[in-house]
Amino acid sequence: MSRIFKTRHVILAVMCLMYFIAYIDRVNIGVAGPLIKKEFGINATELGVVFSAFAYPYAAMQIIGGWCADRFGPRKVLTVLSLIWAGATIACGLAGGIGALMLSRFVLGFGEGGAFPTATRAFSFWLPSHERGFAQGITHSFARLGGAVTPPIVIGIAVAYGWRESFIVLGVISLAWTALYLWVFRDHPSEHPWVQPAELAEIGVTASQPKAARRATPWGEMVRKMWLVTFVDFCYGWSLWVFLTWLPSYLKDARGFDLKHLALFTSLPLLAGVVGDTLGGVVSDAVYRRTGNLRTARRAMLVLGLGGSLVFILPVVTVHDPIMAVALLAASFFFLELTNAVLWSLPLDIAGAFAGTAGGMMNTGFGVAGMISPVVFGYLIQTTGSYELPFGVSAVLLAIGIVAALFIDPNNKIADTETPPTGGIVPPARAAGAGGR
């Protein structure tokens, strides 16, 4: 290699920053939730409705955003989406009442809904197959890092100036990222002035490689091969939304943490997710390189992650020590996030050039969970006066997800005429004809 830092790694770094910023803009509402609840005089169920306003357009935009990225290219699509969510974040800080706040969150969900599927489409032509698990892991680690630093950022600004100002500052930062992305990113490696022939060979493309004609999006085939991944993503997403929206309220109301300690103890479980995200992708890629068995590489991490999360979430509501409860939540979230990079790698594995659409289809499961989970969680708290039943529902869905994950097959691929690069490394078992099919 003639260069230590490759252009694709710069692209990956810019995408990591996007995931980081987007997640801060997404979960800041959960941190500000207790302050919003007090200012507007609403109950837990109503706060859950505010939380869920984001999820409806978010779910609807998954497939639409992914399809647009496949059709028009990630550069144009992600630029438009990031401008929308930046403006919506600023509008949240300017909201004069619950109605305006919900509308702003709704628009935010529209902007962020297609962002991750669009990024997945970008990876399909910038990264060889043996780097995709790591890429999905590291980007989503930055997302969780964004979630982890949100409590001290939002609470710090809220204490000094007010919760509204925190939204305005974060929206301006999102606008700055959009300018960086436009400068750095191109849809295809062969179009980028920084990419050298040696890196094109590493990725698996050539400077003169023509863009092959691609058939129309195979919707029926995609549904047949992606529905189970979407369902597992729903089971995963249910618990993730609980962590992203209700964790600060749980620690304040059920565990008695004051505002001064809330930022730290809300961040700790989310920081555990940072490690889990990266590790899940790295381990899955390592298993694939060593065995050539893609099915084992993906399934093993799904089962381990969902299973570990289930084991540690069960005793959370029964322990008396608040610090022990935080430790259990951190362990549960670490295992839950082991699955995230794998879930986002599966659209690349299965759909190839249609990865944007497939990624959107998969993440629709997460979006639908976001519509239901925060509201159901809040309703159950409101009606039972306890967090025991809400956490129990999460545990049941994790168990169902484990069973469903055993039937996912990443080798059941969608055929296309525009094949993304595989790169220069072929797992030894596959090269010898002993692949995981």
Residue 377's H or E segment, with its range, is helix 355-384
Torsion of CA 416, 418, 421, 422, to 10 degrees: 20
User: Are the C-beta atoms of 214 and 372 separated by less than 8 Å?
Assistant: no
For 113, residues 6+ apart whose C-beta sits below 8 A from its C-beta are 57, 58, 59, 60, 61, 62, 64, 65, 81, 367
Distance CA 165, CA 168 (A): 5
CA-nearest of 234, 379, 279, 255 to 329 is: 255
Amino acid at position 347, single letter: P
Tokens standing for 39?
């200012």
User: Are the C-beta atoms of 204 and 275 separated by less than 8 Å?
Assistant: no
Amino acid at position 336, single letter: L
What integer pLDDT is reported at residue 161 of this predicted model?
86
Residue 352 neighbours by CB distance under 10 Å: 21
Distance CA 2, CA 15 (A): 24
Tokens standing for 101?
């706040």
* DSSP secondary structure letters along 270-281: HHHHHHHHHHHH
Torsion of CA 359, 176, 154, 372, to 10 degrees: -20
What integer pLDDT is reported at residue 432 of this predicted model?
29
Q: What is the CA radius of gyration of the chain?
A: 21
User: Are the C-beta atoms of 4 and 177 separated by less than 8 Å?
Assistant: no
Residue pointed to by tokens 């959370």? 316
Amino acid at position 242, single letter: V
User: Are the C-beta atoms of 122 and 185 separated by less than 8 Å?
Assistant: yes
Would you write out the chain's pLDDT as a tens digit for each of its 437 residues? 345 678 888 999 999 999 999 988 887 887 788 788 888 887 777 877 888 888 888 888 888 888 888 888 899 999 999 999 999 999 988 888 888 888 999 999 999 988 888 888 888 778 877 777 788 778 878 887 887 788 888 888 888 888 889 899 999 999 999 999 999 999 888 888 888 888 888 877 665 544 544 567 888 898 999 999 999 999 999 998 888 777 877 887 777 777 667 777 777 887 888 888 888 888 888 888 888 888 998 999 999 999 999 999 999 888 888 889 889 999 999 999 999 889 988 988 888 778 778 888 898 898 889 888 878 888 888 888 878 888 889 999 999 999 999 999 998 888 754 555 555 444 433 332 333 33
Domains of the chain: 7-188+220-413 (1.20.1250.20)
Distance CA 284, CA 379 (A): 37
What integer pLDDT is reported at residue 207 of this predicted model?
55
CA-nearest of 240, 237, 236, 267 to 251 is: 267
Torsion of CA 279, 282, 285, 287, to 10 degrees: -60
Torsion of CA 181, 7, 20, 160, to 10 degrees: -70
Q: For 331-360, what is each residue's pLDDT tens digit?
A: 999 999 999 889 988 988 888 778 778 888
At 195 the three-state DSSP class reads: coil
Torsion of CA 194, 197, 201, 207, to 10 degrees: 90
For 210, residues 6+ apart whose C-beta sits below 8 A from its C-beta are none
- Residue 45 has φ and ψ, to the nearest 5°, of -65, -45
User: Are the C-beta atoms of 70 and 361 separated by less than 8 Å?
Assistant: no
What integer pLDDT is reported at residue 3 of this predicted model?
54
